[in-house]
Structure 1
Amino acid sequence: MQAAKPNPTLPDGIEIFRSGTRTAENGQVYTITDADVAATAAAYDPSLHEAPLTVGHPEGDHPAYGWVRRLVAEDGVLKIAEHDQVEPQFAEMVQAGRFKKRSAAFYHPTDTTNPKPGIWYPRHVAWLGAQPPAVKGLKDVQFSEAAPAVSFSEPIAQSTQPTPTTQEQDDMTTELQAQLDAANAKLAQAQADAEAAKKKAADAEAQAVQFAEKARADRKAQLVSFAEAQVQAGRLLPKDKDMAVATLVALDAAAPVEFSEGNTTRKLSPGQWLQDLITAAAPKVQFGEFAPGNATAQAGGAKGKSDAEIDQAARAYAAQHKVNYSEALRAVTSFAA
């Protein structure tokens, strides 16, 4: 079975900012050094403020499509070393080139809301479509089938103030949210279908168990009826009826046996063989009219007596005449013609 393909994600090492003299969205010019970038990477702490991945620069509670877990700085370039909880649909759209540009927004070092005053602390990382970022020269994101290799080109905007949301950003956010909603609905339907299939299988299994139990009960009833008929025919002693039924029930599970019979080969189940053997046996107890005057007549005849009365008479005869039960049974049930 082919292994499931992992969910798409963003490669680590994406460039989001480069040191230099930058003009923010509010029109102010700032010079940010390599040391400033290194301090930003070292001070970043998701437990204080976790920078989200957004579409455009949001003004308020726009959706986050992932989070920055760790930053690194190399030669004045700020990179995302690790991502967290990236939405697979968002990663697919980045991979497809829908969002090729990035723009980082920072808290100003003197901002009272800055989680770590004194440094440029990342506020969020915006992914842009057609809107050009403020920082040029960052490498594009590249995906590799073998191993995620990152090579970025093109820029990123930096800003200390929230920027207005363009119609294009709103459209992209709406489209991405629609894709996420569709994926969630598809997942919910798949889960519902799986639960329905599981219930159907459980119901079918329960029904099969009920059918099997009824079949066993019906089969035992047939065997009880067979044994009672053989007792009535005199081929089974009353005391052997229950044992005969239990034996036949146990033999039902045995595999059929092949054997030679003359020039032919027969295949027969052990249970059926035993039933045929009992049916073909000579009667052990004879019920009927016999000539009177025989010596055994004093012991009592079988006519008009129940199985229990016959059994009791046979045991009494065996004790009186010191014979086995079989001889005693013949004595109390048969008369010379």
Structure 2
Amino acid sequence: MDGRQVTFTLEDCLDLAASYDPTLMETPFVIGHPKLTAPSYGWANRFEVRDGLVYAEPKQVVPEFAEAFNKGMYKKRSLSIYLPDSPGNPKPGHFYPRHIGFLGAIPPAVKGLPDVSFSEGSGDSAPVEFALPWEVASLVDSLRALRDYLIEKESLEKANQVLPQWRIDDLAAAIANSRMDDDAVKPLSYSEEGKMKNTEPTPPTDFAEREAKIQARENDLKAREQKIKDDEAQRHRQEVTDFADGLVKDGKLLPAQKNRVVEIFMNLPNGAVSFADGSATVNETPEALLRDVLQSRPAFLDFSEKSAIDGAEPLDFADSQAMANAAQDYIAEQKRNGRDVSVTQAMAHIKGAKK
């Protein structure tokens, strides 16, 4: 990261592998080359040298990171190393692995390293080779672009599962904080070029501008996420409103009940419920279950146009209260005549009135 290059001999590689002691300090798997505050996605159990390459045996790899890695999102590896005289080296006088960084779009400077993948197993079947670092600020931009892509192509929920915003925020904060402690720890990172460079500290004005740009990007992303949420809620409301209208049209729901049904749908939880239904197991969302219950109800109203009964006053069937009153009047009239009729029979009697 700081432009230095050091020739690493086979003896140096052997010293690094032999010096590693996970009980003293474990080497984490990270994305890029962040500072100490970044999250770890796995750990190195041990290091060994084979055929001139340094291998690391992974353990406790986060499943989501392993899945993203196996999909090719972080195909290259990079090893950050404490020099024998680096401040903070847990084993002064020896090379010591600081962290293993996984790279995305930027290729490592060590050419010809084969790709690797994580699997359920561990040990030699899942080696991780060391390569070179890249600029962490570019990594944050790449992660933001990846999250934007997931939101656009999949959904906000999917983006939060794969790459939550707080992880990117933590990494961005670590980059900002690193400006103040770059002189405290100077681990070795390899570069492509053969000459050493001393990086100049970032001027305060440049730092302020970068922070302002980061904040502006964060505000824009939050606004986009909120718009996606609002659009999704509006689409869902229109969908359940159309469903409720269909129930009213089919005579399975009273018009006065439509708005209440829509609001119930809008406030149902998204998670699936699982329960036994006879010999079968049902695993559905509350919305799907409620839709099925309402859709399977028998029609108790008939809004189709009928010929009026002789002498009957025209009845507005759009007025559910008028229909209920007419049915109750008919039931009372029949009761005075010594005949008991049900609500269904009463509705069948009055449905001949025109809307």
TM-score normalized with structure 1 length: 0.41
Q: Name the structure, 1 or 2, with higher relative contact order (CA <8 Å, separation 6+).
A: 2
Higher strand share goes to which structure?
1
Rg larger in 1 or in 2? Answer: 1
